[in-house]
Structure 1
Amino acid sequence: MSIDVRLLGKEDARAYAALRLSGLKNDPRAFASDYATEASRDPDYFRQRLEQNHVFGAFEGTRLKGIVGYGIPRQSSMAHRGHVWGMLVDENARGTGLGALLLETLVGHARAQGLRQLHLGVGTYNEAAIRLYRRAGFSVYGTEPRALHIENTDIDEHLMVRFLDKKEEKL
């Protein structure tokens, strides 16, 4: 399987939306957003999301198989850190190393942008994702109880960080 990972542009909005909606439908607990809300959005929403964030896509040929993004806070006091969101690998591509490749690309890009750390939240039930993030150098620094409430279920989230500067600290 030959995979190409690159920054997505507005021309990728349709493929991005399709994969994201598939993920929201198949694993609603993994995302803060929900399928019904995002499925009803105008296509411009997805184009704008790609233009306003750093979103990477993993392609097998022309098929988008995985996505992950990060945003940078606008406040100058927080602009040294990025927030990772929307990690999703197509069910048929899981276990192939594609998630690790997406994270490696994202980390390299964030470091080149001058960021000093990356943060993310992941459901405490999602052991596979937690293992992936740990292998990518992220550490748990706390747990937020009831971070999400989806389908009448409270979901706790581990808060994770990866330091990117010379002080690559482990927690």
Structure 2
Amino acid sequence: MRIKHLDQDDVDVFRQIRLEALNRAPEAFASTAADWERLSTEEWRARLTANAVFVAFEDDRPLGIMGLMRERASRLAHRATIIMVYVRDEARGSGVARHLLAHLTNQARASGIRLLELVVRADNPAAIRFYTREGFREIGRVPGGMFDGEKEVDEILMARHIDGRDAPAGQGVPK
């Protein structure tokens, strides 16, 4: 497995894995496949270059994706939100998400980010366990923060400092 930080020339790979994620796990995301399918190639490229996007590959086949959206305001620029997290069913439990998160964390730290944040559905215990194992802590909850059809689902806000505070053992790029 290899992890690649995508660049503007990787828009086709980005489109492929992002649409797969939105179609195979629609309940996991605030956006829908329809939201993204109507984007032009230039809009795809702009979204790709506005954020750091990492994809895990087995040979040339994408297995998972994870993005990092940095805050733009100067007083918040030490913070970033983890976005677009998806791992193919057959690769879950194999360490793909852990490898993606480690690469993303190292990139974030190198660019001066000190605090990683994320939002996870309260009805996704596997994701909550993963993030907790990786040192994230619940910092809040948005009751009914997401609609799933007509059903309201709570969102859990989680955060982790990556500047040495609250660091889990073995933090860094896995071997």
TM-score range, shorter chain: over 0.9
Report Cα offsets for 1:99-121 as digits up to 9, x if no partner: 11101111111111111100000
Aligned to 2:124, which of 118, 123, 126? 126
Determine if contact 1:89/1:99 at 8 Å carries over to the other structure.
yes
In structure 2, the partner of 1:109 is 107
Q: Aligned in 2, Cα 1:80/1:14: closer, same or farther, shift over 3 Å?
A: same
Q: Aligned in 2, Cα 1:43/1:150: closer, same or farther, shift over 3 Å?
A: farther
List aligned pairs for 1:54-133, cutoff 5 A: 54-133=52-131
In structure 1, the partner of 2:35 is 37
In structure 2, the partner of 1:7 is 5
Q: Aligned in 2, Cα 1:83/1:156: closer, same or farther, shift over 3 Å?
A: same
In structure 1, the partner of 2:172 is none
In structure 2, the partner of 1:51 is 49
TM-score, structure 1 length as denominator? 0.92
**Structure-2 separation of matches of 1:134 and 1:166:** 17
- Large movers: runs of 4+ above 3 Å: none
Report Cα offsets for 1:56-76 as digits up to 9, x if no partner: 111111111111011111111
**Structure-1 separation of matches of 2:25 and 2:78:** 31
Determine if contact 2:135/2:166 at 8 Å carries over to the other structure.
no
Report Cα offsets for 1:99-148 as digits up to 9, x if no partner: 11101111111111111100000001111111111121111111111111
TM-score, structure 2 length as denominator? 0.90
In structure 1, the partner of 2:151 is 153
Determine if contact 1:28/1:150 at 8 Å carries over to the other structure.
no
Report Cα offsets for 1:33-78 as digits up to 9, x if no partner: 0111111211222211111111111111111111101111111111
**Structure-1 separation of matches of 2:127 and 2:44:** 24
Q: Aligned in 2, Cα 1:57/1:155: closer, same or farther, shift over 3 Å?
A: same
Give the % identical residues: 37
Determine if contact 1:19/1:90 at 8 Å carries over to the other structure.
no
**Which structure 2 residue ranges, 5 or more long, are not aligned?**
169-175
**Structure-2 separation of matches of 1:106 and 1:55:** 8
**Structure-2 separation of matches of 1:148 and 1:133:** 19
In structure 1, the partner of 2:173 is none
In structure 2, the partner of 1:26 is 24
CA RMSD of aligned residues (A): 1.5
Determine if contact 1:117/1:163 at 8 Å carries over to the other structure.
yes
Determine if contact 1:16/1:64 at 8 Å carries over to the other structure.
no
